[in-house]
Amino acid sequence: MRRLVIAAILALLPVQAVAGPSITGSFQGWNPADPAYDLQTIGDYGHYLTVTLPAGAHEYKVVETDDFSQAYPASNIAFTLAAETEVTFFANLTVNVGVVDGDETVAHQPPILAGDFIDLWGGAEWDAADATGEMTQALPAGHHECKVALNGNWDQDTGANTTLDLTGPTYVEFTFEFGETDLTYTTTTIEDGDLVVSEIMQNPDAVDDADGEWFEIVNASANELNLKGVVVKDDGTDSFTITGDLNVSAGGYILLAINGNRSTNGGLPPVDYVYSGFTLDDDSDEVVLASGADEIDRVAYDDGATFPDPTGASMYLGDVTDDNSVGSNWAEDTFFRYGLGDYGTPAASNFPRRQRDRLRFGGGGEQGHLGDSISGWQRQTDHREPARRHAPELVARRDRDRLPTRLQPDRDQGDPVRGWDRETDHRLRQLS
């Protein structure tokens, strides 16, 4: 999920000098006719100026002519810099440039999104100085209100509250453009079933639980989703909130783990998100995905009563279209190994059981292995099966000669052929 952005990309916009509107302040001797501080235009009504200012206390305002007859705001805007800093001033002078109409805005710091839902993100409601409001995240269903405040106070804002009436958990991206006049937003709704917990390693054997626990989520929707703000919890006190953008493509897999260090987490592939404050009980526990009070997905494994109860192996959902709340739809992975030897397919397709039945022994071992060199199991699926995000791929010996021209490196995972994205035709067989 993303910071509230000033939508104009300065480097890409046509720039023209304007006669008259300028920044004047204590840092340039309060000279309204100084051409070095003339504003440049962005968009229809927006203006900006970037200057480097020394450390210390400063005051400024905008003058719309070359004197103080049309100056805004009435009181100077004050701020303090701890060190020499490049400062960008943004101003919206609206339609009548050159005349103060009372609807102008000017700021020297990013806008703050304030509203009645900022506490859901760990901030304070309606606090113009709370930088939490610079970000956008998932919001729960319901009625919400917000507005933008400038310079960390309520002297300037976007006026009437912007309202949102959401029917389900929704990712909202707010935008305030200084070249326009309103706060706008776009929404992507995360609905029940869009995110599916598809694999769980609750009891690793190669390393301690505190180092090797992980679980996997698949995006079962038809759209790319950003999981920023999604809460992961159990029915007890364990929980964490995904901070920062965590995008997953439609049909893509992401790996969340308690430890992102491959040398100590059992040899996992690159972890998409490292969490804390959440552990997986060896016997029974819950993995719940939520946005506010709205649940997106829930898995409650039960010490082997209906779910698998493995040690040193993950439990996986046999088909991501199956109901993952039903224990009989899950199975213990006894086929694919990763890293130091535990079983599982972290951040990769779980391969439905009917496909695993079609795997045949190709020589060199008794199980498929995702962490060693070539280990001898060939997957006899047709070429129409889509490659999955992060799916580790191993290449048949006779095809390895084609690697330099047929494949492009994705990432180094420390194994001979792992981490390559397939860019070849269906004749290239895959070992998993």
What digits encode the pLDDT tens for the residues 35-80?
999 998 876 668 899 999 999 999 999 998 888 988 888 899 999 9
The answer on pLDDT for 323 being more than 70 is: yes
Cα separation, 269 vs 214, in Å, equals 11
Task: Give residue 98's region: left, alpha or beta (phi > 0; psi -120 to 50).
Answer: left
Cα separation, 94 vs 103, in Å, equals 7
* Dihedral, 418, 422, 424, 429 alpha carbons, nearest 10: 60
Give the DSSP H or E segment for 301.
strand 294-302
Shared domain check, 411 and 294: yes
Residue 252 within a domain: yes
Question: pLDDT by residue (tens digit) across 156-169?
Answer: 888 899 999 987 77
Shared domain check, 200 and 180: no
Specify the pLDDT at position 10: 38
Residue 3 within a domain: no
Shared domain check, 146 and 19: no
Residue 144 within a domain: yes
Q: Which of 165, 189, 213 is the last residue of a domain?
A: 189
Shared domain check, 256 and 349: yes
Q: Return the DSSP state at 313.
A: B
Q: State the CATH number of the domain containing residue 395.
A: 2.60.40.1260
Shared domain check, 53 and 136: no
Shared domain check, 317 and 348: yes
pLDDT band at 206 (very low <50, low <70, confident <90, very high): very high
Shared domain check, 276 and 135: no
Cα separation, 302 vs 202, in Å, equals 12
Residue 2 within a domain: no
Report the domain count for the chain.
3
Classify residue 268 as exposed, middle or buried by CB count within 10 Å of its CB (0-12, 13-18, 19+): buried
Residue 103 within a domain: yes
Task: Give residue 310's region: left, alpha or beta (phi > 0; psi -120 to 50).
Answer: beta
Question: pLDDT by residue (tens digit) across 105-151?
Answer: 899 998 899 999 888 777 899 999 998 876 666 787 789 999 999 99
Q: State the CATH number of the domain containing residue 158.
A: 2.60.40.10
Q: Which of 189, 219, 246 is the last residue of a domain?
A: 189
Shared domain check, 361 and 423: yes
Give the DSSP H or E segment for 212.
helix 209-212
Cα separation, 320 vs 338, in Å, equals 21
Q: Are 242 and 273 in contact (CB under 8 A)?
A: yes
Q: Which of 78, 107, 136 is the last residue of a domain?
A: 107
Specify the pLDDT at position 60: 97
Residue 4 within a domain: no
Shared domain check, 264 and 181: no
Shared domain check, 405 and 272: yes
Specify the pLDDT at position 11: 38
Residue 1 within a domain: no
Shared domain check, 424 and 295: yes
Shared domain check, 259 and 136: no
Whether a cis peptide bond, with omega within 30° of 0, leads into 73 is yes
Which is it for strands 407-409 and 294-302: parallel, antiparallel or unpaired? Answer: unpaired
What is the span of the domain harbouring residue 146? 112-189
pLDDT band at 244 (very low <50, low <70, confident <90, very high): confident
Q: Return the DSSP state at 293.
A: T
pLDDT band at 381 (very low <50, low <70, confident <90, very high): very low
Question: pLDDT by residue (tens digit) across 256-315?
Answer: 999 999 999 999 999 999 999 999 999 999 999 998 678 899 999 999 999 999 999 999
Residue 31 within a domain: yes
